[in-house]
Amino acid sequence: MPPIPGSGLAKGLAVTLRTMTKKSVTAQYPDVQPELPPRSRGVIGLFEENCTVCMLCARECPDWCIYIDSHKETVPAAAPGGRERSRNVLDRFAIDFSLCMYCGICIEVCPFDALFWSPEFEYAETDILELTHERDRLREWMWTVPEPPALDPGAEEPKEIAAARKTAEKLEAQRAQEAQQQEEEEGKE
């Protein structure tokens, strides 16, 4: 059966009339903050104490928006007769958010957990040059980083914890065995 002429128009007008009669819901954004998902991507925060200046984040960034400067510092020997060590010291860590595409690669490749997502998204500037956040400003964002979600109680134990537990149990068993051998030797004497 062929469609009735004008039925499409009638359906469209029916949808329009239904929508017109519903109350509109407008988010009053500046006055009412939006409910964000727990781990939403806003701005990147820097936990400077964990940064070893390995440069992985800057190398892996597809936009090349991370700038890192460092210098080497000599650390005196910890024990007498030991050798001096050199370590990298962070001089500058900056992210240009006018270039950043918020892909999260820098956060994923950081082996020392120095970079984190913060849910803060209100950091607009009138001058584009002010969107380059230096390490002091990146450190301020760390206070807004939420706690990681709790582990699922039914999940497997992480490999690192299992390996550490096995090592601790082996050391404890070895110490107990040594203590038992010492008691036996003292009992023979």
Residue 124 burial by Cβ neighbours in a 10 Å radius (0-12, 13-18, 19+):
exposed
What does DSSP assign to residue 78? Answer: S
Q: Which helix (H) or strand (E) holds 7?
A: helix 7-21
**Cα–Cα dist 78/69, whole Å:** 27
Closest among 117, 5, 110 to 59, alpha carbons compared: 110
Helices (H), 33-158: 56-60, 105-109, 135-141
The binding site for [4Fe-4S] cluster consists of: 51, 54, 57, 61, 100, 103, 106, 110
Binding positions are 51, 54, 57, 61, 100, 103, 106, 110
Report the C-alpha gap between 52 and 55 in whole angstroms: 8
Neighbour-count burial for 72-81, b at 16+ CB within 10 Å, e otherwise: eeeeeeeeee
H or E stretch covering 87: strand 85-96
